[in-house]
Amino acid sequence: MQFKVDVQKTLRSGEREFVLRARFESASQRVVVYGSSGAGKSQMMKAVAGLMTPDSGRIELAGRCLFDSAARINVPPQQRKVAYLFQDYALFPHLNVRQNIAFGLQRGWRNPLARVDGEQVRYWLQAFELEAVAQQFPHQLSGGQRQRVALARALAPQPDALLLDEPFAALDPGLRGRMRAELDALQRRLQIPMLMITHDPEDVRAFGDHVLRMENGSMLRVEESAA
């Protein structure tokens, strides 16, 4: 099983209460969760990444237990070996492209950027065709370049899984198609398990070997792939 998730969490703000009950398992390497805004997709993803602690439940990734409330297991985010790509890519604005990628390779906070292995950074710059913009800062990049930097930074530490939150939402339609094809090829080449959340039916078509639907905090139904 690549993904095995069964978690509950109650979120409260004022009078309002949101109950997340995310439960699914999948042997597929390409899982897509879709559902309307506010359905709980991002909260579920944060639980997998370790950025939100469920009230109860269990999370397994490729046979490795990341969270188990009964056994009091809660692996810290930085030890989960998952790459999380946010909707807005969350690049560091004060670091250039090279430094943003190097950040992904740092083993610890005390490692100065200058000491990160230049060879590895060069590899990722080349793999994502970013050599020409290596010295530029995020605000000096196109949407597609920003997305490539975010992907390179996420993949550089060789994670066990890639979590993608609306990865193409910020791109214009033409670029969206190209980046979708790039990610498709990349995932097939690296054979990395991928969990994606999206509103976009095109993403579901392109990446949904296993499609899950989420509404009001719960997984509604599971559609097995035609593949």
Ligand X SMILES: Nc1ncnc2c1ncn2[C@@H]1O[C@H](COP(=O)(O)OP(=O)(O)OP(=O)(O)O)[C@@H](O)[C@H]1O
Binding site for ligand X (CB under 6 A): 11-13, 18, 35, 37-43
Across the beta sheet with 161-165, the strand order is: 73-74, 64-68, 56-61, 3-13, 16-26, 218-224, 210-215, 30-34, 194-198, 161-165, 82-85
Shortest Cβ distance from residue 2 to ligand X (Å)? Answer: 21
143: nearest Cα among 204, 87, 198: 87
d(CA 54, CA 47): 7
Q: Give 11 or 186: the residue with its C-beta nearer to ligand X.
A: 11
Q: Give 12 or 94: the residue with its C-beta nearer to ligand X.
A: 12
Shortest Cβ distance from residue 29 to ligand X (Å)? Answer: 22
Q: Is the dihedral of CA 102, 107, 112, 117 positive or negative?
A: negative
For residue 134, give the DSSP letter. T
Contact indicator for 219, 39 with CB cutoff of 8 Å: no
Q: Give 23 or 122: the residue with its C-beta nearer to ligand X.
A: 23
Q: Give 18 or 103: the residue with its C-beta nearer to ligand X.
A: 18
Q: Give 74 or 218: the residue with its C-beta nearer to ligand X.
A: 218
Shortest Cβ distance from residue 65 to ligand X (Å)? Answer: 23
Shortest Cβ distance from residue 101 to ligand X (Å)? Answer: 26
HEC states along 80-92? CCEEEECCCCCCC
Q: Which residue has the tokens 């530490």?
A: 157
H-only helix segments in the chain: 41-49, 97-105, 118-127, 143-155, 173-190, 201-207
Shortest Cβ distance from residue 111 to ligand X (Å)? Answer: 32
Shortest Cβ distance from residue 70 to ligand X (Å)? Answer: 24
How many residues are recorded in the chain? 227
For residue 72, give the DSSP letter. T
Q: Give 11 or 95: the residue with its C-beta nearer to ligand X.
A: 11
